[in-house]
Amino acid sequence: MRKRKEGRKFSRKRDQRRALKKGLAVNLIEKGKIKTTLAKARELRPFIERLITKARTGELSSLRLLLSFLPKKTAFKLFKEVAPKFKDVPGGYTRIIKAGQRKSDGAALGIIEFAYKVTEKNEPTEKPTK
Protein backbone atom coordinates (compact mmCIF):
# COMPACT_ATOMS: atom_id res chain seq x y z
CA MET A 1 0.00 0.00 0.00
CA ARG A 2 1.03 3.56 -0.67
CA LYS A 3 0.19 5.09 2.75
CA ARG A 4 0.91 8.78 2.05
CA LYS A 5 4.40 8.19 0.72
CA GLU A 6 5.54 11.05 -1.49
CA GLY A 7 7.49 10.76 -4.69
CA ARG A 8 7.99 8.07 -7.27
CA LYS A 9 10.51 5.26 -6.95
CA PHE A 10 11.28 4.59 -10.64
CA SER A 11 12.49 1.08 -9.65
CA ARG A 12 15.67 2.61 -8.25
CA LYS A 13 17.33 2.89 -4.88
CA ARG A 14 17.41 6.21 -3.06
CA ASP A 15 20.86 7.33 -4.18
CA GLN A 16 20.04 6.43 -7.77
CA ARG A 17 16.80 8.44 -7.60
CA ARG A 18 18.69 11.43 -6.25
CA ALA A 19 21.26 11.13 -9.02
CA LEU A 20 18.46 10.89 -11.60
CA LYS A 21 16.81 14.09 -10.30
CA LYS A 22 20.15 15.87 -10.20
CA GLY A 23 20.98 14.83 -13.77
CA LEU A 24 17.57 15.94 -15.04
CA ALA A 25 17.89 19.26 -13.21
CA VAL A 26 21.37 19.90 -14.64
CA ASN A 27 20.15 19.19 -18.18
CA LEU A 28 17.11 21.42 -17.74
CA ILE A 29 19.18 24.32 -16.46
CA GLU A 30 21.81 23.94 -19.19
CA LYS A 31 19.40 23.48 -22.12
CA GLY A 32 16.24 25.26 -20.92
CA LYS A 33 13.99 22.44 -22.16
CA ILE A 34 14.22 18.65 -22.00
CA LYS A 35 12.10 15.76 -23.23
CA THR A 36 11.61 12.91 -20.77
CA THR A 37 8.88 10.65 -19.46
CA LEU A 38 5.89 12.38 -17.94
CA ALA A 39 6.49 10.77 -14.53
CA LYS A 40 10.09 11.99 -14.41
CA ALA A 41 9.03 15.49 -15.47
CA ARG A 42 6.39 15.61 -12.75
CA GLU A 43 8.91 14.45 -10.17
CA LEU A 44 11.50 17.00 -11.33
CA ARG A 45 9.17 20.01 -11.21
CA PRO A 46 9.04 20.57 -7.40
CA PHE A 47 12.77 19.89 -7.08
CA ILE A 48 13.78 22.49 -9.69
CA GLU A 49 11.23 25.05 -8.50
CA ARG A 50 12.63 24.91 -4.96
CA LEU A 51 16.11 25.55 -6.35
CA ILE A 52 14.89 28.53 -8.40
CA THR A 53 13.09 29.99 -5.37
CA LYS A 54 16.32 29.78 -3.37
CA ALA A 55 18.36 31.29 -6.21
CA ARG A 56 15.96 34.24 -6.61
CA THR A 57 17.07 35.76 -3.30
CA GLY A 58 20.53 36.47 -4.71
CA GLU A 59 22.28 35.88 -1.37
CA LEU A 60 25.60 34.14 -0.86
CA SER A 61 24.01 31.50 1.36
CA SER A 62 21.62 30.63 -1.49
CA LEU A 63 24.53 30.20 -3.89
CA ARG A 64 26.28 27.90 -1.41
CA LEU A 65 23.12 25.84 -1.05
CA LEU A 66 22.86 25.51 -4.84
CA LEU A 67 26.50 24.43 -4.99
CA SER A 68 25.71 21.60 -2.57
CA PHE A 69 23.08 20.26 -5.00
CA LEU A 70 24.47 21.10 -8.43
CA PRO A 71 27.83 21.25 -10.23
CA LYS A 72 29.60 24.61 -10.07
CA LYS A 73 28.95 25.66 -13.69
CA THR A 74 25.25 24.78 -13.49
CA ALA A 75 24.73 26.41 -10.09
CA PHE A 76 26.25 29.67 -11.33
CA LYS A 77 24.11 29.60 -14.47
CA LEU A 78 20.98 29.10 -12.39
CA PHE A 79 22.01 31.84 -9.97
CA LYS A 80 23.17 34.45 -12.54
CA GLU A 81 21.03 33.80 -15.64
CA VAL A 82 17.89 31.79 -14.94
CA ALA A 83 16.73 32.99 -11.52
CA PRO A 84 16.84 36.77 -12.26
CA LYS A 85 14.28 36.22 -15.04
CA PHE A 86 11.83 35.05 -12.36
CA LYS A 87 12.55 37.88 -9.90
CA ASP A 88 8.95 39.16 -9.83
CA VAL A 89 7.21 35.83 -10.45
CA PRO A 90 5.63 34.27 -7.32
CA GLY A 91 5.90 30.68 -8.56
CA GLY A 92 5.23 28.34 -11.45
CA TYR A 93 8.65 28.61 -13.07
CA THR A 94 8.29 25.50 -15.22
CA ARG A 95 5.68 24.04 -17.53
CA ILE A 96 5.11 20.44 -18.58
CA ILE A 97 3.71 19.72 -22.02
CA LYS A 98 2.50 16.25 -22.97
CA ALA A 99 4.38 14.93 -26.00
CA GLY A 100 2.68 11.66 -26.93
CA GLN A 101 4.06 8.19 -26.33
CA ARG A 102 7.43 6.58 -26.89
CA LYS A 103 7.36 4.06 -29.73
CA SER A 104 9.42 1.33 -28.07
CA ASP A 105 7.56 0.86 -24.78
CA GLY A 106 4.58 3.22 -25.01
CA ALA A 107 5.71 5.37 -22.07
CA ALA A 108 4.02 8.77 -21.85
CA LEU A 109 6.49 11.52 -22.81
CA GLY A 110 6.55 15.11 -21.72
CA ILE A 111 8.56 18.26 -22.33
CA ILE A 112 9.53 20.25 -19.27
CA GLU A 113 10.73 23.80 -19.84
CA PHE A 114 11.09 27.12 -18.09
CA ALA A 115 8.00 29.31 -18.38
CA TYR A 116 9.47 32.68 -19.35
CA LYS A 117 7.07 35.46 -20.20
CA VAL A 118 8.42 36.84 -23.45
CA THR A 119 7.41 40.39 -24.26
CA GLU A 120 8.74 42.58 -27.01
CA LYS A 121 10.36 45.76 -25.67
CA ASN A 122 9.59 47.65 -28.87
CA GLU A 123 5.85 47.06 -28.66
CA PRO A 124 4.01 48.64 -25.73
CA THR A 125 1.45 46.37 -24.08
CA GLU A 126 -1.04 49.24 -23.67
CA LYS A 127 -1.58 52.52 -25.40
CA PRO A 128 -0.37 55.44 -23.29
CA THR A 129 -3.19 57.55 -21.91
CA LYS A 130 -2.98 61.33 -21.78
pLDDT score of 77: 96
Question: Taking residues 57-69, what's their average pLDDT?
Answer: 95
CA angle 25, 2, 98 (to 5 degrees): 40
Per domain, the residue ranges of the chain are 14-114
CATH 3.30.413.10 given to domain 14-114: no
Question: pLDDT tens-digit profile of 12-46?
Answer: 999 999 999 999 999 999 999 999 999 999 999 99
Q: Return mean pLDDT, the chain.
A: 90
Residue 54 has pLDDT above 60, yes or no: yes
pTM (2 d.p.): 0.84
Q: Residue 6's pLDDT is what? A: 84
Q: Are 110 and 38 in contact (CB under 8 A)?
A: yes
pLDDT of res. 129: 58
